Amino acid sequence: MYRIVKKRVLNPTVTMMEIEAPAVAKKAEPGQFIILRVDENGERIPLTIAAYDREAGTVSIIFQIVGATTEKFNHKEEGEYIQDFVGPLGKATETEGLKRVAVVGGGVGTAIAYPVAKKLHDEGCHVDLIVGFRNKDLIILKEEFEAASTNLIIGTDDGSYGKKALVTDLLKEQIEAGAKYDRVIAIGPVIMMKFVCQLTKEYNIPTVVSMNPIMIDGTGMCGGCRLTVGGETKFACVDGPEFDGHLVDFDEAMARGTMYRDFELHAREETCNLFKQEVK
């Protein structure tokens, strides 16, 4: 059992949890993920590591409430426990030798972009952190982003904060204005990563994306997380989760991601109803 040390509500549907897991904290690196189960009948879900504190022995994760599992998890409070927390899994982000990087995040994906940006920034890299949200109320981790970047650019879909623009437009502006990037790192919804990659391909900028497919064991056994990268089958859990964005088949990844959508929506509704009944 793993204790919830801290819970922080970042916006109405996004929560940060700091979990006591010393063995994972000792090894965690930006770009890696963990798998957790909330309770005994829980499913195993992968979540990317948002932060870690080796001394305190804790690992933080940020999640959006999308299905029954995240709904249940969000009902847990500080001091309570979750059933399983295993990791760190996947390969860490490679940052060596990078001088100037644009880290592009969308929605809850910005939370995953944060540790990558921080690591690059700590290593002396010039980091343009470009993050996009639907509106002002959904903006998360603004102070953290500022501390982890040379240049923070926030955009919203409705213009309620920063520029009314998509992250691809904001990135394009930077490139057009003369920013010379060694690499673009894009983390967020698959559709966003697809369009970022289309853009960077035009400019020939190496681009890395972080994939978050359906997964069960996370250790290279089940094969559920497979993707097509450069015409070959790759497994996000052991070969990734980061891949060369110009080689990923995003359309296939998007289709595979919808496999259990109806089940998730239905299960979340049922879970919500259960919690409502408890309140009554």
Query: Applying CB under 8 A, which part among 58-66, 81-89, 97-105, 197-205 lies near other proteins?
Result: 81-89
* Distance in angstroms (rounded) separating the CA atoms of residues 135 and 155: 9
- DSSP 8-state assignment for residue 260: T
Contact between 277 and other proteins by CB under 8 A: the answer reads: no
**Closest distance to other proteins from the beta carbon of 256 (Å):** 6
How many beta carbons lie within 10 A of that of residue 213, not counting itself?
A: 19
Query: Applying CB under 8 A, which part among 106-114, 163-171, 192-200, 262-270 lies near other proteins?
Result: 262-270
* Distance in angstroms (rounded) separating the CA atoms of residues 152 and 98: 18
Q: Which of 14, 17, 24, 154 binds other proteins (CB under 8 A)?
A: 24
Q: Which of 235, 236, 240, 241 binds other proteins (CB under 8 A)?
A: 235
Nearest residue to 189 via CA among 275, 262, 109, 72: 109
Contact between 84 and other proteins by CB under 8 A: the answer reads: yes
- DSSP 8-state assignment for residue 98: -
Within 123-249, where are the H helices?
Answer: 142-147, 167-176, 190-203, 236-239
Q: Which of 6, 8, 75, 256 binds other proteins (CB under 8 A)?
A: 256
Conformational region of residue 252, where left means phi above 0, alpha means psi within -120 to 50, and beta covers everything else: alpha
**Closest distance to other proteins from the beta carbon of 257 (Å):** 9
Q: Which of 42, 162, 189, 206 binds other proteins (CB under 8 A)?
A: 42
Q: How far is CA 35 from CA 43, 71, 82, 195, in A?
A: 10, 16, 12, 28
Identity of the residue, 22 or 79, whose beta carbon is nearer to other proteins in the bound complex: 22
**Closest distance to other proteins from the beta carbon of 18 (Å):** 18
Contact between 233 and other proteins by CB under 8 A: the answer reads: yes
Contact between 37 and other proteins by CB under 8 A: the answer reads: yes
Q: Binding mask 54-73 vs other proteins (x if CB under 8 A, - otherwise)?
A: --------------xx--x-
What kind and span of H or E run contains 111?
A: helix 109-122
Q: Please say whether the dihedral angle defined by the alpha carbons of residues 206, 212, 215 and 217, taken in this order, is positive or negative.
A: positive
Contact between 168 and other proteins by CB under 8 A: the answer reads: no
Contact between 76 and other proteins by CB under 8 A: the answer reads: no
Copy the structure tokens of residue 56.
Answer: 């305190």
Query: Applying CB under 8 A, which part among 107-115, 166-174, 179-187, 260-268 lies near other proteins?
Result: 260-268
Query: Applying CB under 8 A, which part among 119-127, 139-147, 169-177, 248-256 lies near other proteins?
Result: 248-256
Chain center to CA of 199: 21
Copy the structure tokens of residue 125.
Answer: 């890299």
**Is 266 within 8 Å of 242 (Cβ atoms)?**
no
Task: Give the footprint of other proteins on this chain (CB under 8 A).
Answer: 23-24, 27, 37, 41-44, 68-69, 72, 83-89, 216-224, 226-228, 233, 235, 238, 252, 255-256, 258-261, 263-264, 267
